[in-house]
Structure 1
Amino acid sequence: MHRGQLNYFLHQTQIAGHISGRDVAKRVATAMMMVMVCYLAGFERAALITGAIVIAIECTTYPLNKRASQFDKPLGVMLATAVFALNWATTLPFLAFSVILSNSDNLPFILAGYLWIFGILVHISNTFGQLPFYNWSQMMPAFGTTFWMFENLSTNPAHQSSNLEWAVVAALCVVYIVNTFDTMNRQKDTNRALERAREEANLRLMELERLSRYDALTDLMNRRAFDEIVESLMRQHADKLGVTVFLMDLDGFKPINDSYSHSAGDAVLCTIAQRLRKLVGKDGHVARLGGDEFAVVKTDFMTSEQAKHFGEYLLAVIDRPIPFEQKMLQVSASIGIARQGADTADLATLMSGADQAMFSAKNDANHDAVIFDKAAFPVRASLDDRKVLVDAMRNGEIVPFYQPKIALESKRIIGFEALSRWQHPERGILSPAAFLPQINELGLQGEFTLHTAERVLSDLDDLVRDGLDPGQVSINVSETTLATVSGHNDLLAQIDLYPHLRRHLTFEITEDIFIARSSDIIQRSIANFREAGVRISLDDFGTGFASFQHLKDLEFDELKLDTGFVRDLGVDPAAHVLVEGLLTIGEGLGVVVVAEGVETPQQEQMLTEMGCSIVQGYLYGMAAPISETKLRLTVEGYRYPADHQRQHGAFNDVAVSRPLVVQAASNGP
């Protein structure tokens, strides 16, 4: 026998041994039932002898079948041959019951014999259909027994018939045999098709699993897979060197996408991925966590110095130029490092530490790799801190204060900027610097923006009801609100509650929205707010990432010069040149320019000479609560004209029109 066929036979024998050993009780029980049937049919001696043979063979075969079915142990040829022979021999006494009953003169017993052999044929084909050696070896004697039964019947005087009639029965039996063979072959074909379908389904499931765990662009692990690997390595190396995580964020990647296309950005990401994979080798794992953020985990650093040295090497590798379409592209990176230890004993704290270290590296002038040290880093906000902040907003402790904006020509108030303060029950009034970092860290920017808008609109409603004109009131709107459908819709819904106040609202956004990955969504949100009648102001202009292309693409009504430019007026000649240039840009774009941070008469004078029309700063007043703001507007006579109140009313002016920025700047309250 060929070696391949021999292995196939041995494999089938193990499966057959498992099946036969499993079904012993059922076979013995049915054999005893047939002993009783044969006994009732008058064949007492033959029934008892056949039953005894069945029990003897089953007792002999059972231990061999159990041994053969042990898949973890090799099966010898001699043992397999013995199992095959005994399983074949076991079939014969079972077939004998049908032969015995075919000698009966009683039709019901004859039918019982045929039903019995039919059951044996079905059992063999269903049980051993995938085991050809066992299937055919047992099917052939079963078919031969069927013809033996016909022979017994044809010679029995009680059932005399013509040869032609018995020939018809024999022909039908042949048809049955042929059909059985064909059905079994087709069943094999069906099983093969099902197996192929299972294999294809498994391949698709494996592909889906891969897609869920690997980044499609770089073929690196994604965050989910990386977290699982890191967590597993932390368990394995807890008593050894521990694991070290390197978290990397590319610097200068967004301008490449904007200037050279997304194809260039993809080329950069793929090249960085290849470099990191090659550098790390088999001793570590690399992942792309999302966007332009990568991560590496290694387990072979004994000291922090070794980890930091490797981090610096990573920086050098990332910093190498990347060729793309006859150009040389270049990015750098900020790398944060965290090592497994007492303060970073689980995945969450380890990754949080690496994230804090990376943030520190971004703010480092030298852009060195930074290792997390809990003692040297500020305590991160917790879920308890989140609850405190949410409760503070819900309880009305965080409220807007209002700093006036002044028209230089008339020295009159033309509006306010809403600046949040926390009226803490124990610590007094807290400035934004005391709680805004936690709001950003805890991801509460959207909730905070909506809360501020609700309070500002409520305050404005009170002012308008009292006949006071607050002018244009600015609210700082977070990137989260602009970049998410829920944030955008919630804010629009809040505005819709006060349609008569739309013309009083200005939303301030900062230049850093231009580096947001969802900048297209943000631009659509801004356009929707302008269509709703809200003015848009670009805050801290000149300090962020805005380019002239962005200024052309984005629709806005106001530019706010950063405090740093105003503070240096009269001190740094460059500040004078820059402010004049920015004022010229604003005039060319047809938008109002507001100078923030005016604190001295000299600054005011210089801004007046340069043509600045609107200013804001401590020289004109600090941010004050709504009660003081209302008093100031009342005392200084900032009321709607009587004819305006009669014609429009504080509550019926719901017309929404595109803000006319120049008019808003020139008209006093």
Structure 2
Amino acid sequence: MSLSLVDHFSYQTRVAVHVNNRDALKRLFAAMMIMTVCWLFGDQRAAVFWSAVIVCSELLGRIVNRRVSLTGPPLPFGICLAIWAVNWLTLWPMLVPAVVLAGHGSDALLVASLLWVFGIHVHISNSYAALPFFNWSLMIPAFAMTAIMFWQAYTAPPIASTLLEWCAATAMLLVYAGNTLQTMSAQKDTLVKLAEARKDADKRLSELEFLTRHDHLTGLMNRRAFEEAATALLPRRSNRDRNQLGYFLIDLDGFKPINDSYSHKAGDAVLVTVAERLTKFVGNSGVVARLGGDEFATAISGVRNAVQALRLANEIATLIKQPIIVDHKRLEVGASVGVALTTSTQDSLAGIASGADQAMYKAKGDPGQVAFVYDRDSFPVRASLDDRVTILRAMQKQNIAPYYQPKINLDTGFIEGFEALSRWRHPTRGLLLPGKFLPYINELGLQTDFLMRTTGLVLQQIEDWLEQGFDPGEVSVNLPEVTLATLSGRAAVMDLIEKFPRARAKLTFEVTEDVFIARSGNLIQESIAAFRQAGIRISLDDFGTGFASFKHLRELEFDELKLDTGFVRGLGHDKAAEVLVAGFLGIGKGLGVKVIAEGVETETQRTLLREMGCSVCQGFYYSPAMPSKEARNALWRQHTLGVPFTNTQKSAEGSGDAA
């Protein structure tokens, strides 16, 4: 890191203030002497006026300078500018006597004025030699006044010099000589003070750099500094047995109750103690960091194998678990430790950090073990940044797009609507169902992007069908909890549906029962009410899976119930399933909402549902989800030929997909 121009200006200003304060009496004495000379040779009014101006300017400078020291943080730019302006303006009245004396026409007084103005030149150059900005900016008025002085002397009528005038000139010469010697001597002091100011600046710069790379509480490296240091420890040569780097991710267990019960002061003391223990344990074999909150990390070189790594992790957990005494109280915290090892010189720090993170979470979920070592073969593959790029590109190119599973009226056989279910037309893996890519979307935090793109495509498709004269009925899209539970998610969806006024009346949002008890129940209910008010139908999906209660059914506003596939699958061979389905159909009828059976795959299921009073179903008995073109053809046959929907594509896909 380097000092900016503003910082340089700040530290030069500090030294300039020191010089001004140091030389204040000398300046006043010299000014009074030259004003006395002006008085003696007939310029009494000018002498009085400019004496008053000089005294006032010195007082103003004293007021501005009095609170500025050589050390401390950089001065605000405005204060620096004010101090410089006072110095610059104060110099002008000090130069005026030279012009006044040069205008007399006397050679002796001209010599006195020359000595005076050159003395000021020497004073500026010597006092501010190490302060370039002040030196050159103050020389400008000095040079300007010198030019005016010569012009004044040139235009004044010449007169003979008296003995008294030559005595004044001689006195000025002696004062000039003495002032020059004193100024040159003081230059050493200026350089010393400038060195002190620079030293203070360097110290503060080092402190600032330390703060940007270290945790302010424990003094350990922060995440950025740790990643740089740990990257430097990665093995550069192939030596899997002797030169592996172990990445240990440590999360404290039981730390929050200490904060809540004994105050943040006690919590801070625990964190500091843990940091000290880790630092001592690692020593010179690695680096330690506090990543944030109660999470620490260490990278240790020379870990031979997974057995040694697990032993070290258990030792770390045991070390942290030792009691910590704070204000005569015995406090204890545990630790969950995840470890990942490099396996080749191609491993990146981000890769082993991800592995350690998975191992740490496994340790937190296992009450019998405090540490785990990451093993690629036994841990699930995590989504990477490359996966994020691939998924985003697939959404942009509409390779991830909605397919449409028809909802069929059991009495007429006609399509009453569709459920939009996403499919990924993967270039190498073929057609992927949601279960193959939705977990990655959720893990990578792409739920909002996925929902907005999918819903936008569905709304556009509905409007296209309506434009072609085909009514698709009620088309449903699955709405995730994160959208319902956040104001921003709700607003984004509202903005989207406003762009498709014709399609809005055909749109249904499917939500699962569990969202109402998972979190933010009140906000979710508000979101559902807002969508219904905007003309969107709400369908309660997976009904009967056990999450909802009759209390929720009384409180919620919805238009449709969808029987879970698990109940439909039992029809024809499970009496309990038949009783439950009949009961759910009765609930729907009593509430005045439509009931749709999902996962219908056999003629027996279709027949029993119709006999029980279910009017609409969907499932593989009729059709899996189909591309938009095939759905359009089915609508064409229905609207143009009046032909009920028939199953033309048996598929191996499973039912109950989630978009």
TM norm structure 2: 0.52
Match status 1:430 vs 2:462: no
**Mapped partners of 1:634, 1:265: distance in 2:** 70
Aligned residues of 2:541 and 2:564 also touching (Cα < 8 A): yes
Corresponding residue for residue 609 of structure 1: 583
Query: 1:473-512 residue pairs with structure 2 within 5 A?
Result: 473-477=476-480, 479=482, 491-502=493-504, 504-506=507-509, 508=511
1:420 touches 1:432 (CA, 8 Å); kept in 2?
Answer: yes
Partner amino acid for 1:506? F
SS of aligned partner of 1:618: coil
Matched AA of 1:433: G
Structure 1 residue 305: deviation in Å? 1.7
**2:583 partner amino acid:** E
SS at match of 1:435: helix
Superposed, 1:403-422 pairs within 5 Å as: 417-422=419-424
Q: What is the CA deviation profile of residues 622-654 of structure 1, one whole-angstrom value per residue up to 9, with x for unaligned ones?
A: 5512456567778889xxxxxxxxxxxxxxxxx
Secondary structure at the counterpart of residue 401 of structure 1: strand
Aligned twin of 2:402: 400
Once the 2 structures are TM-superposed, how far is the Cα of residue 173 of structure 1 from its aligned partner? Answer: 2.5
Q: 1:415 Cα shift?
A: 6.6
Residue 245 (structure 1) shift: 0.9
1:222 is matched with which residue? Answer: 222
The C-alpha deviation readout for 1:306-345, integer Å capped at 9, x for no partner, is 32123234456677999999x9999876532112341664
2:584 is the counterpart of 1:618? no
Residues 310, 372 of structure 2: 8 Å contact kept: yes
Query: Bigger CA drift: 271-280 or 380-389?
Result: 380-389
Contact 2:323-2:330 at 8 Å conserved across structures: yes
The one-letter code matched in structure 2 to 1:422 is W
Displacement of 1:398: 1.9
Report what 2:456 is aligned to.
454
Q: What pairs up with 1:47-62 in 2 under 5 angstroms? A: none
Partner in structure 2 of residue 81 of structure 1: none
Change (3 A) 1:391 1:310: same
Give the conservation status (yes or no) of the 8 Å contact 1:479–1:513.
Answer: no
Following superposition, the deviation at residue 368 of structure 1 comes to 5.0
**Kindly tell me: are residues 506 and 173 of structure 1, through their superposed partners in 2, closer, same or farther at Cα, counting changes over 3 Å?**
farther
3-state DSSP of counterpart to 1:399: strand
- Alpha-carbon distance, 1:225 to partner: 1.4
User: Could you tell me which amino acid in structure 2 is paired with residue 586 of structure 1?
Assistant: H
Amino acid at match of 2:498: D
Question: Quick one: distance in 1 between partners of 2:219 and 2:498?
Answer: 46
Partner of 1:590: 556
Distance 2:630 2:253 in 1: 45
- Secondary structure of 1:171's aligned partner: helix
How has the CA–CA distance of structure 1 residues 182 and 404 changed in structure 2, closer, same or farther, with 3 Å as cutoff?
farther
1:288/1:294 contact within 8 Å kept = yes
| CA shift digits 1:73-119 (9 cap, x unpaired) | xxxxxxxxxxxxxxxxxxxxxxxxxxxxxxxxxx9xx99x9999999
Following TM superposition, by how much is the alpha carbon of 1:424 offset from its aligned partner in structure 2, in angstroms? 3.6
**Correspondence for 2:301:** 299
Cα distance change, pair 181–584 in 1 and its aligned pair in 2 (3 A): farther
Quote how far apart the aligned CAs of 1:508 are: 4.5
Distance 2:220 2:513 in 1: 34
Matches within 5 A, 1:224-373: 224-234=224-234, 241-248=243-250, 270=268, 273-274=271-272, 276-282=274-280, 283=282, 284-290=286-292, 293-299=295-301, 301-315=303-317, 335-342=337-344, 345-358=347-360, 361=363, 368-373=370-375
In the TM superposition, residue 290 of structure 1 has moved relative to its aligned partner by 4.4
| Kept in 2: contact 1:502–1:533 (CA 8 A) | no
Amino acid at match of 1:276: V
Q: CA deviation at 1:230?
A: 0.7
SS in 2 for 1:245: strand
Structure 1 residues 250 and 527: alpha-carbon distance in aligned structure 2, compared to 1, 3 A threshold: farther
Cα 1:127–1:213 shift into 2, 3 Å: closer
Contiguous gaps of at least 5 residues in structure 1:
1-106, 130-159, 538-555, 567-578, 638-669
Structure 2: runs of 5+ lacking an equivalent: 1-107, 132-159, 589-594, 601-617, 640-659
Q: Deviations over 1:114-141 (max 9, x none)?
A: 9999999988767799xxxxxxxxxxxx
Question: 1:341 and 1:378, CA in 2 relative to 1: closer, same or farther beyond 3 A?
Answer: same
Shift of 1:608: 4.0
Aligned CA distance change for structure 1 residues 263 and 231 (closer, same or farther; 3 Å): farther
Alpha-carbon offset, residue 224 of structure 1: 0.7
SS of residue paired to 2:549: helix
Is the contact made by 2:237 and 2:345 (CA closer than 8 Å) also made in structure 1? Answer: no
Return the TM-score normalized by structure 1.
0.51
Secondary structure of the equivalent of 2:565? coil
Alpha carbons 1:505, 1:534 under 8 Å: kept: no
CA contact (8 A) 2:423 2:434 kept: yes
Three-state SS of the structure 2 residue aligned to 1:433 is helix
Residues 85-100 of structure 1: pairs in structure 2 closer than 5 A: none
Q: Kindly indicate whether the alpha-carbon contact (under 8 Å) linking 2:235 and 2:243 is maintained by their aligned counterparts in 1.
A: no
Partners in 1 of 2:552 and 2:316 — Cα distance? Answer: 43
Post-superposition offset of 1:210:
4.0
Q: 2:209 is matched with which residue? A: 209
How large is the RMSD of aligned CA atoms in angstroms?
A: 5.9
C-alpha separation in 2, matches of 1:530 and 1:291: 38
Cα offset, 1:498, TM superposition: 1.2
Distance 1:633 1:329 in 2: 70
CA displacement, residues 278-310 of structure 1 (integer Å, 9 cap, x when unaligned): 331332544343466432223364442232123
Cα distance, 1:372 vs structure 2: 2.5
- Percent identity, aligned pairs only, is 32
CA contact (8 A) 2:455 2:477 kept: no
CA distance in 2, matches of 1:408, 1:262: 59
Distance in 2, matches of 1:321 and 1:463, equals: 70
Q: 1:527, CA displacement in angstroms?
A: 6.2
Task: Indicate conservation of the 8 Å contact 1:343/1:374, yes or no.
Answer: no
Q: 1:594–1:612: 8 Å Cα contact kept in structure 2?
A: no
Answer yes or no: is the 8 Å Cα contact 1:214–1:225 preserved in 2.
Answer: yes
Contact 1:488/1:525, CA 8 A, preserved across alignment: no
Deviation (angstroms), 1:227? 0.2
- For 1:605, give the aligned amino acid: V
Contact 1:335 1:369 in 2 (8 A): yes
In structure 2, the CA distance between the partners of 1:180 and 1:331, relative to structure 1 (3 Å rule), is same
Q: How does 1:506-585 map to 2 (within 5 A)?
A: 506=509, 508=511, 531=530, 560=541, 566=545, 579=546, 582-585=548-551
What's the CA shift string for 1:331-383, capped at 9, x where partnerless? 87653211234166442333233234345556768555222234545666566
* Partner SS for 1:299: strand
Task: State the number of aligned residues.
Answer: 456
AA aligned to 2:374 is: F
**What is the one-letter code of the residue matched to 1:281?**
T
Distance 1:235 1:343, change over 3 A: closer
**Distance of 2:358 and 2:338 partners within structure 1:** 7
Aligned to 1:168: 168
Aligned partners of 1:409 and 1:628: how far apart in 2?
23
Specify which of 563, 570, 573 is matched with residue 600 of structure 1: 570
